[in-house]
């Protein structure tokens, strides 16, 4: 990052405290909104939460939970300062606190829909907010979707539906991270912020509206990810006076006829990568009055660039722009300027083409037209020969200027001095990283990557070998120790190599289970029913099918039979692809039910034989034991203990039948037996 940009950011961050205080007072006058969040340090919380459908404001100092107006639930956990919305469908939410240093975690479990009922759907006051997880929809708002009076970080899906006002309004900084997909069809900006907006990944889109709008003296940085709209009238990015828009490796596009950026008076538009430089210099959608495009970092072109409209490329103090082996073309309306120690250089066969009418400023010693002399002493300085044919280019004639190692030359060449033929300098360090689904960021291992002409060329370092085999990347999926060979090439094709060790460390998977109470049965416990979370950085977010039982009541086992009632201590285990295992022990209570017994009235004749019990039984069974007719016994006759019924004497008898299952559950039924005379 450039020195001047760091200074700008420092100045902006000094404003943050003032803005945060201003936000407190302004938020007091807002229309009734439905979410205000507050956090303190991890050890204590103060303030209140109000979720529509709950019984009014409740304290943040204790765990809280409840239901929305529609489906789903909400739960507040004080230990982690986390509000979890699980398939929530309800009214607005309000958190209220007092400390801007606190951080609230809003976790979306599945989906969540918050209805603003004409107001703000989500208001977090006096706190920072981190939104992560599944899909969040903010709908039917009259003054904006989510209002955060502190800083905001988003890595989830956020959608605006029938929102009047910005979908997200952050009084502090707004960080959009990988995984975020933020979109709105409203005519208002998707994101409005009063400080720095960092797009570090994900996608932010709008239809007929501005995507990101920031206040004066702010910064919008598109470091990676996609910012896109489709509008004939609204710019993609908009910032107030004295603000800065900085585009690195991210993509900024307007698929309509509208412009890409709108910058207030005194603002600047800056690029930091070759891709961003090409996109902006060749774009026809940058407002005509925003002609100056600043190179705010060292940039080496990776492809040819042709300026369009009245753009001016401004190479700032202490920055370097190199054409590499490519061609930069200035059309009749293009302009190129440097200031202070700003450098414009080239690589082998690099070129700059000046068309008639193109303008350059402060380029003595960079362009050489015709003959020149090489001054002696400390360093080389070229003296241009003035020409009158094209005064608009400071005495340089239109045409093709080719980099010869010291300058862009037209009509003359010199040998490349010996010092410029030396290879670059490359040094790396050993690093340890956590396993994951992506590739190793090899830039984190580079300590030095410089060249006498190209300067700092850390971005040119590449991986050439892994454990002695040709490779361009190192996957972080498999834990282990890897020997990495790095390669660096300068503009003259000279190479340097360095070797370092990368240790990929595997972490345990995540496993969470719950206590269960089940009815007994013939089968075994379905493990999935007990698992609430089973995930791994590499193997994925849903590993429930890989969870196994390893112990029951402290003894080795692979399953829990549900045939026997009782309380069981069950140990579950999850092993990831890197061999790391995590175990959790929870209770499973198996409850036994009584068997089913049905009897009927029986009429028989006097006999010397014993009464056949089965003749009175219509049903006798159990979930585990099955058919129990053979186990039914007589326990009473006419209220007196008995084990059988004599048929020798005519009469009407009340017979009590009893059956017991293998889990000790007993059921009794009384039936009538009529004994008639022969």
Q: Which of 34-38, 122-126, 671-675 has the lowest mean pLDDT?
A: 34-38
CATH class of the region 420-505: mainly beta
Measured at the CA of 74, the angle between CA 71 and CA 79, to 5 degrees, comes to 165
Give the burial string for 265-293 (b: 16+ CB within 10 Å, else e): eebbbbbbbbbbbbbbbbbebbeeebbbb
pLDDT band at 286 (very low <50, low <70, confident <90, very high): low
Higher model confidence: residue 631 or residue 266? 631
Q: What's the mean pLDDT in 267-291?
A: 69
Mean pLDDT of 595-621: 93
Write down the H helix ranges in 357-450. Answer: none
Coil, strand or helix at 148: strand
In the predicted model, is pLDDT for residue 384 greater than 60? no
| Spatial separation of the C-alpha atoms in residues 229 and 254, rounded to whole Å | 5
pLDDT tops 60 at residue 287: no
Question: Per-residue confidence at 573, pLDDT binned at 50, 70, 90?
Answer: very high
Lowest mean pLDDT among 219-233, 310-324, 548-562: 310-324
- Percent share of the chain, pLDDT over 90: 40
Express each pLDDT in 599-611 by its tens digit. 999 999 999 888 9
**Phi, psi of 39, rounded to the nearest 5 degrees:** -135, 155
Q: Which structure tokens are listed for 635?
A: 């326990």
206: pLDDT strictly greater than 70? yes
Span 596-676: which CATH code?
2.60.40.10
Average pLDDT over residues 612-635: 92
| Predicted pLDDT of residue 79 | 85
Please say if the pLDDT value at position 297 is more than 90.
no
pLDDT-derived band at 34, boundaries 50, 70, 90: very low
Give the mean model confidence (pLDDT) for residues 344-373: 73
Res 334 pLDDT > 60 = yes
CATH number of 510-591: 2.60.40.10
Q: What is the pLDDT of residue 532?
A: 96
C-beta of residue 509 within 8 angstroms of C-beta of residue 535: yes
- Asked which of 42-46, 104-108, 444-448 is least confident by mean pLDDT, the reply is 42-46
Give dist(CA 29, CA 25) in Å, integer.
7
Sequence ranges of the domains in the chain: 1-19+188-297, 31-172, 420-505, 510-591, 596-676
Residue predicted with more confidence, 604 or 398: 604
User: What mean pLDDT do residues 621-628 have?
Assistant: 91
Greatest extent of the chain over all pairs of C-alpha atoms, in Å: 144
Global model pTM greater than 0.75? no
- Token pair 């206040």: residue: 215
**Lowest-pLDDT range, 59-68, 75-84, 175-184, 475-484?**
59-68
Please name the residues in contact with 415: beta carbons below 8 A apart, sequence gap of 6 or more.
Answer: none
pLDDT for 199 beyond 70: yes
Strands (DSSP E) contained in 209-354 are 212-214, 219-229, 237-239, 244-247, 251-254, 261-263, 268-271, 292-295, 299-300, 305-306, 312-315, 320-322, 327-330, 335-338, 343-345, 351-354
The pLDDT score that the predictor gives to residue 411 is 63
- Indicate whether 386 pLDDT > 60: no
pLDDT in tens, 87-112: 988 878 888 766 777 788 999 999 99
Query: Quick one: how far is CA 386 from the chain centroid?
Result: 57
3-class DSSP assignment, residue 220: strand
pLDDT at 292: 59
HEC readout, 259-299: CCEEECCCCEEEECCHHHHHHHHCCCCECCCCCEEEECCCE
The 10s digit of each residue's pLDDT in 147-184 is 888 889 999 989 988 888 898 988 889 999 998 899 98
**What pLDDT, on the 0 to 100 scale, is given for residue 4?**
42
pLDDT at 13 over 70: no
Between these two residues, 569 and 244, which has the higher pLDDT value?
A: 569
In this structure, of 384-393, 451-460, 595-604, the range with the lowest mean pLDDT score is 384-393
Same fold, 420-505 and 596-676: yes
| Predicted confidence (pLDDT) at residue 376 exceeds the cutoff of 60 | no
214-234 average pLDDT score: 90
Average pLDDT of span 518-529: 91
Q: What is the mean pLDDT of the chain?
A: 81
Distance between CA 154 and CA 136 in Å, rounded? Answer: 11
């Amino acid at each position: 990052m450039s020195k001047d940009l760091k200074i700008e950011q420092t100045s902006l961050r000094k404003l943050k405290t003032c803005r945060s205080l201003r936000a407190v007072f302004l938020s007091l006058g807002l229309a009734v909104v439905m979410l205000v969040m507050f956090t303190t340090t991890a050890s204590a919380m103060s303030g209140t939460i109000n979720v529509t459908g709950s019984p009014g404001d409740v304290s943040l100092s204790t765990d809280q939970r409840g239901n929305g107006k529609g489906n789903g639930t909400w739960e507040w956990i004080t230990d982690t300062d986390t509000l979890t919305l699980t398939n929530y469908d309800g009214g607005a939410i309000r958190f209220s606190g007092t400390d801007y240093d606190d951080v609230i975690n809003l976790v979306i479990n599945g989906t969540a829909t918050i209805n603003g009922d004409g107001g703000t759907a989500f208001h977090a006051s006096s706190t920072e907010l981190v939104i992560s997880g599944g899909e969040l929809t903010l709908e039917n708002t009259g003054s904006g979707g989510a209002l955060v009076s502190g800083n905001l970080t988003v890595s989830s899906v956020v959608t605006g539906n029938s929102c009047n006002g910005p979908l997200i309004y952050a009084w502090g900084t707004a960080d959009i991270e990988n995984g975020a997909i933020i979109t709105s069809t409203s005519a208002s900006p998707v994101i409005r912020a009063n400080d720095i907006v960092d797009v570090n990944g994900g996608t932010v889109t709008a239809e007929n509206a501005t995507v990101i709008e920031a206040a004066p003296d702010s910064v919008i940085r598109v470091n990676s990810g996609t910012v896109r709209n489709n509008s004939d009238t609204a710019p993609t990015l908009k910032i107030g006076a004295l603000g800065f828009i900085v585009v690195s490796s991210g993509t900024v596009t307007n698929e309509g006829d509208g412009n890409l950026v709108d910058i207030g008076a005194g603002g600047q538009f800056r690029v930091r990568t070759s891709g961003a430089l090409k996109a902006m210099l060749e774009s026809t959608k940058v407002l005509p009055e925003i002609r100056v495009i600043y190179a705010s970092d060292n940039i080496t072109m990776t492809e040819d660039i042709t300026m369009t409209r009245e753009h001016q490329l401004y190479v700032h103090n202490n920055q370097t722009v190199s054409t590499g082996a490519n061609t930069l073309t200035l059309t009749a309306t293009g302009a190129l300027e440097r200031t202070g120690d700003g450098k414009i250089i080239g690589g082998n066969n690099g070129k700059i083409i000046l068309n008639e009418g193109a303008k350059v400023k402060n380029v003595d010693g960079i362009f050489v037209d015709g003959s020149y002399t090489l001054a002696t002493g400390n360093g080389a300085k070229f003296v241009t020969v003035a020409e009158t044919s094209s005064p608009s280019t400071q005495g340089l004639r239109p045409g093709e200027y080719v980099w010869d190692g010291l300058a862009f030359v037209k009509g003359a060449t010199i040998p490349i001095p010996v010092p410029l033929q030396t290879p670059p300098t490359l040094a790396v360090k050993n690093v340890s990283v956590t396993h994951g689904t992506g590739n190793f960021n090899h830039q984190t291992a580079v300590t030095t990557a410089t060249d006498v002409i190209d300067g700092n060329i850390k971005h040119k370092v590449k991986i050439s070998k892994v454990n002695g085999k040709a490779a361009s990347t190192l996957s972080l999926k498999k834990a282990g120790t890897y020997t990495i060979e790095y390669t660096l090439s300068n503009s003259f094709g000279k190479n340097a190599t360095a070797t370092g060790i990368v240790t990929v460390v595997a972490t345990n998977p995540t496993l969470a289970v719950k206590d269960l109470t089940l009815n007994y049965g013939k089968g075994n416990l379905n493990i999935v029913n007990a698992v609430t979370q089973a995930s791994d950085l590499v193997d994925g977010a849903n590993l429930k099918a890989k969870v196994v039982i390893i112990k029951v009541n402290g003894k080795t086992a692979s399953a829990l039979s549900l045939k026997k009632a009782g309380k069981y201590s069950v140990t579950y285990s999850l092993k990831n692809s890197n061999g790391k295992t995590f175990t959790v022990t929870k209770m499973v209570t198996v409850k036994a039910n009584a068997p089913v017994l049905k009897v009927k009235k029986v009429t028989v004749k006097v006999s010397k034989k014993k009464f056949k019990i089965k003749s009175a039984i219509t049903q006798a069974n159990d979930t585990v034991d099955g058919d129990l007719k053979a186990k039914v016994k007589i326990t009473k006759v006419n209220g007196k203990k008995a084990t059988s019924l004599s048929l020798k004497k005519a009469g009407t008898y009340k017979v009590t039948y009893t059956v017991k299952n293998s889990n000790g559950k007993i059921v009794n039924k009384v039936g009538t037996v009529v004994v008639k005379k022969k």
